[in-house]
Every structure is written in structure tokens, then in C-alpha cells.
Amino acid sequence: MSSLTDATSDSPTGSTGVVTDVPQTKGPRQTLTLVAVLLAVFVVPTSISGTGVALPSIATDLHAGPGPVQWVANAFNVAFACFTLVWGSVADIIGRVKAFALGAAVYTVASIGSVFAANIHLLDVARAFAGLGGAAIFACGSAILSTVFSGPARAKAFALFGTVAGIGISAGPSIAGALVQSVGWRWVFVLHAVALAVVLALVPVISRNVQEERRKGARIDVPGSVVFVVAMFLLTCGIVQGSQWGWGSAGVLGLFAGSIVSLVVFTAVEKRREQPMLDLALLANRRFLALCLVPIAGSFGFVTMLTYLPSYLTAAGGHGTGTAGLIMILLTAPMLICPLLAAKLVSRGIPAMRIIYVSIVCLVVGDLGLLLFTPDVSVLVVALPMLVTGAGMALAAGLVDGEALEMVAPEQAGMAAGFLNTLRLGSEAIAVAVYASLLATTVSSKIDEGIQAYPYDGSTARLAGDVSVGDISGQTAQVPADRQSGFTDFLVDTYDSAFHQVLWILAAVCLVLLVVIAAMLRRPHARQA
């Protein structure tokens, strides 16, 4: 299989087919541009993963119920998913630096609003605006890097992009936890505001360093943008509410149906637009589309484990939360090394696509290796599978972004980055929801099969729900004292068995994606504008 670099060695071309040169400015300004983009990128995943740690304190301080409190996190995620593609398209029209700066400014103001929010509803609104700004940062940040850097420097820049995003996801809970415990939850958002204020101060440097291609004469596609936002809003709300309302409930099914209808309308609208928000011809580029599927494998193979393996370690493994956090370092440590390693290998002539294939294979092998987990397994036994799984995510992080943007014309880089990141975040939400649903369903089935052996008088549905989220010890009091030990073993075995069944499914999903991606990349496919 030839590399993407080989397949795209020709110069970037615009929609007219004329070769366009994007001059590169080297030196301190280029470095400051990279620093500014990476600092902004660090804030977004840190916010996504770290805000959840602050929710209990927020609930207590603002006297809020569980529903509104959960939307502190959900509002950000929904807004981010809805507007990433919109920002990417807008950036190709008004300029990526301007769109990036606007997004950082919105995020900064929203973070300040979060600091001073007097009630939970104002905080939810502020977090939604922060998600709006975060979408611009991610969509425009990667497009800026694709413009400023070229060759080996570009590969390294995107490797750092992936590394910083991974560190942000991994370190977010620790940073937020330390701030909440020491100075209070509002300081989580103070940190975001301060970091982005630094980014805004560096915008003039970025502006002088970036010479970008724009979609000449294009106007913002308002109808397409509105319909797409509605579709993504309905989809993400359906995913968010699925675990609360039930996946088969009328409300959730209605949200999903509305999303499908909206996407059909969106397609019809875009076909009739002279300057669409999403050029559907972009989706006919099989190589670009194949690369956009790579983060989906990471979502199912890695993000699910990042989210739910700690629950297994505490519930089935009996580890304390501190010990579980230390064990999780084995999963996240490759994010510090592998993205830069991948860039170095590419600079030495290793085909980029070969590394991406290896990354997906690592996800498959790593998830299968995690089947070695048992309630009493030694960490040494599962250390290698955890490292391999982490490497599966880390090797492609950043690398896939740079390679995907090589597939499109320079003036469509923002649109392409927006589409890629929409799939990335959307697939993460879907993968996490699918994992939770599969685990809960499997746990419920196994409890129904074996509960008759124990004198349990409570609701089996509630028992299954509690066990599926890792609450096992709290259920032992529901049976007589002389049966509690056996009942605990039954619940642990149930959770452990369900965890293993879901791992098989996750590995299968990654394997199917590997086959699909390989099939789409089998024959050379020219870059499309």
C-alpha cells in the first residue's frame, strides 16, 4: 500500500485547478503561532474531560438538581458538535485567523460568565457558548497549522496537535480536581479564561504569519448552517438523553428521527447552494473520507476505555480511585510519546498510511488484550494491552488530521477540518453511549439469569443500573448478612463478564473500520476540490 504522501505529492490546487502556493514564514513568529494554537487546543479537551469533576461542587454551591447540573457538561458538548463544521466553512470565507480569534474570544467571555454565574441556568448557557467557541478553535486551529507549516515541520506540528489534545483529555480531571479541592470550582473556568486571554494576545502574530486561501466570492451558507445545527442538536440530545429516558423511549426515538429528517433536508439544501457550507463533492473523495473514519476507531477502541475502565478497576478490581487513576496512566502515557514518534517515522520515509494502519491494528489487539482483565489480575499482566491500546489512539492522533487536510484544496481546509472534527466528537459521544447501553443491557440479562439464587427483594432493574455504573458494594445490604459475600461475588462476576463481552464488540467495530478504510484506500484517488 502506497503512502498518502506518495498519493498526494502534487501541489495543492484550488477549485479552479490552478496550483496555489502558500508561502511559509519561518522563525519565532511561526513558533508563536504554533504555541498559540496548541494552548487553545489544550483548553478545549481539558474542559471536556475535566468539567465533570466539578459537577458535585457546582450542584452543592448552586443548589441545583441532577438534570440541570449534567447540562453543564452536556451544553458544551452539544454546542461543540453542532458548530464545528459550521465554523470550518465560515473560516474558509472570512479567514481562519479571524474565525479562530472570534472563537477564542467567545470562549473567553463564556468562561468569565461561568466564573460569575449566579445560578445553574446561567452556567448552562455560558457553557453552551464556551462549546461554540471551542468548535471554532478546533476547526480553525488545525486549518491554520495546515497553512503555516509544510513538509516535516507540518508533520511535527500536527503530531504536537495530537499530543496536546491527548494530554488535555488525560490531564483535565486531575487539573480540575486539584482546583476544585484547593480553591473552588469557579477557578476551573478562571484557568480557561486566562489561557485563552494569552491566545488572544498572540492573534496579531498569527495574523502576520498566515497567508491563507479563501473561497473567493463565497457567502456564508445560512440555510445549510441552520439545518445542519438542528440535525446535530437533535442527534446529540438523543445520545445525551438516551441513558436517562431510555433508548427505546418515544422522546429519544423522536430526536433521532428528527435528526435523520434534518440531515435529508440538509443534503437537499446543499445540492442547491452555489456556495454550500459542506461541499458534498468533498465526501466523494474516498481517501479523505477514509481518513475521517480513523478517529471513529479511536472513539470505540480507546475513548470508551478512557471513560469506563476506571469504573471496572474500582468496581470489579476493588482498587481505590487513586490507585485506579495511577493504573490509567498506562493507557494515556502513549499520548506523550507516540504522536511525535509517528511524525519522526514519517520524516524518515515510513509511509503515513502504514502508521495509521498500525494504529488501528493496535486498537484491535489492545482491546482483545484487555480481555486479560479479571477482578484479581496483576497490573503487570494487563500493562502491555493498556499501552498498546493507548498507542493505537496516539499513533494516529494529529497525523490523520495533517494527512486528511492534504487531500483537499487549500481554500477548503477549514471545511475539511470542521467535518473531520465533527465526526471525531460525534463518534466519541456515540461510542461512549453505545458502550454504556451494551454494558447495561448485558448486566441486566445476566442478573435476570442468576438473581433467583439469592434472597433479593429489591428492583432488579435498579440493581442492574447500579451495577452497570460500577456501584456494587452499595447493593450488598439488600440481602442477609450471611449471603452478602456470595452476592457480592455474583455481582462482580456479572460486571466482569459483561465488560468482557463489550470488549469483544469494541474490537470487532475497530476491525470492521480497518477493513472499510483499507477498501476505500485500495486504489489511488486524486485530490478533489
Residues 179-205, mean pLDDT to the nearest whole number: 93
Please give the mean pLDDT across all residues of the chain. 84
pLDDT at 91: 86
Query: Is 408 in a helix, a strand, or coil?
Result: strand
DSSP code of residue 397: T
Residues 117-130, mean pLDDT to the nearest whole number: 94
pLDDT of 269 over the 90 cut? yes
- What residue has cell string 464556551? 130
Burial of 490 (0-12, 13-18, 19+ CB in 10 A): buried
Cell of 496: 466482569
CA 186 from centre of chain: 24
Residues 116-120, mean pLDDT to the nearest whole number: 94
Cell of 117: 454565574
Cell of 335: 499520548
When mean pLDDT is compared over 113-117, 235-239, 330-334, the highest value belongs to 113-117
For the segment 29-60, what is each residue's pLDDT rounded down to a tens digit? 788 899 999 999 999 988 877 887 788 788 88
Amino acid identity of 421? Answer: N
pLDDT of 409 over the 50 cut? yes
DSSP lists the bridge partners of residue 171 as none
For the segment 459-505, what is each residue's pLDDT rounded down to a tens digit? 777 787 777 767 777 667 777 777 878 888 888 899 899 999 999 99
Overall pTM > 0.95:
no
For the segment 61-99, what is each residue's pLDDT rounded down to a tens digit? 998 877 788 788 888 888 888 898 899 888 888 888 999
**Pick the residue with more confidence: 269 or 170?**
269
pLDDT at 450: 85
Residues 151-178, mean pLDDT to the nearest whole number: 84
Q: How far apart are CA 305 and CA 386, in angstroms?
A: 9
How far, in Å, are 67, 82, 239 from residue 252 at the CA level?
16, 18, 8
Cell of 112: 468569565
pLDDT of 185 over the 50 cut? yes
Cβ neighbours of residue 294 closer than 8 Å, sequence gap 6 or more: 356, 359, 360, 396, 400, 513, 517
Q: How far apart are CA 284 and CA 501, in angstroms?
A: 36
- Buried b or exposed e, range 426-448, using 16+ CB within 10 angstroms: bbbbbbbbbbbbbbbbbbbebbe
